[in-house]
Structure 1
């Protein structure tokens, strides 16, 4: 190799498979005054063929093309891992569509941030996105704003749902463990006394009767329904009643 040609080369990582494990070996990669383009294809299942994506990526000048066969959000993506391992600052990762890179808006934003931090550009062929340009960078800034808005909207809806559930006598968005009639019976059992003036049923016995825990009984007995409590006695608490069994 001549000295001049050697100046136009740089050491790179060439990824090879060895018994289902990725072995990274140093080799010479020629750049000839341009950075490397790394293509990434993805299909949802193994029954789908990635050939169209791979052909488009090679036609776009990709030096390497990696393919993932993954559909679940949490599924492993060895192709993406290899692409990220090979890519260096100044390189480009190329996909045909945005959904080939990330499987959710949040995932897409996280990946774009990772590439940006490492100085790697992203090119999306079908959408005409190139983060090496100002327009491309603005596109992902807008996506990030949309992701934040979506998260805030979801949090607001969740809070509204919980507030509405509490107004109906429910917590955590779940159905109450005891119905209104059962709560009424539980209160009567709690208020009932024997000939000696002592309570006839303990909270533990009432809980066993309805198949719930003692904290559930305490919570229902301390909550007024639309008709008010069935007894004039103050609502019990584990500490105040002393009935912890």
Structure 2
């Protein structure tokens, strides 16, 4: 039997593109395991259920390598679990990921390409960290602007003018506790 596995990282993302690819490849829509969870988490219910239900000679079809795993170690472990069941795995986009034939180069390419994919993710992470460090050295902070710091002077002025806390809450859209911290100079 041919089964499919489709995964996106967040609940807001859409599985349609992957499902369309799997159906176009020939996977019955009823045999597609769908998941909305990060690939860095190896405790994925649908992936584990799919692997548990695999039988000898089944073929797992995925849209691309990153749908199964985001790390080389986990990818190789997942592929080994699939092989232990006597099943095979094939990627539509990553044509080198195809254990349906007895070609010894497939395992070699799987290891090399998974390592390259891991390297790419690690380089992106390193560049992001370097960029944040560089920005911080220039006085720029990442993240959402702090409303409390932006509105502290307004809060103090309104309070000193005798406005009630409920009026200051309405005027600034800050919580009562934030207003009290500003007034009391708490950090």
Length-normalised TM-score, structure 2: 0.54
* Structure 2 match to 1:98: 65
* Structure 2 match to 1:114: 81
* Structure number with bigger Rg: 1
1:133-172 equivalence runs, <5 A: 133-135=101-103, 137-144=104-111
- Between Structure 1 and Structure 2, which shows a larger proportion of strand residues? 1
- Tell me the CA shift for residue 146 of structure 1: 7.6
CA distance in 2, matches of 1:92, 1:86: 12
Q: What residue ranges of structure 1 are gaps of 5+ in the alignment?
A: 1-35, 151-245
The answer on whether the counterparts of 2:75 and 2:114 sit within 8 Å (CA) in structure 1 is no
Describe the superposition over 1:109-157 as per-residue Cα deviations: whole angstroms up to 9, x where unpaired: 111111222210101001123211134x523234436879x9xxxxxxx
1:131 to 60, 85, 99: 99
- Between Structure 1 and Structure 2, which shows a larger proportion of helix residues? 2
1:222-241 equivalence runs, <5 A: none
The answer on whether the counterparts of 1:70 and 1:76 sit within 8 Å (CA) in structure 2 is no
For residue 12 of structure 2, give the secondary structure of its aligned residue in structure 1: coil
* Structure 2 match to 1:54: 19
CA RMSD of aligned residues (A): 2.5
For residue 130 of structure 1, give the secondary structure of its aligned residue in structure 2: coil
Q: What residue ranges of structure 2 are gaps of 5+ in the alignment?
A: 119-187
Q: Give the 4+ runs in structure 1 shifted more than 3 A.
A: 142-148
Length-normalised TM-score, structure 1: 0.42
1:6-85 equivalence runs, <5 A: 36-63=1-28, 64-71=31-38, 73-74=40-41, 76-85=43-52
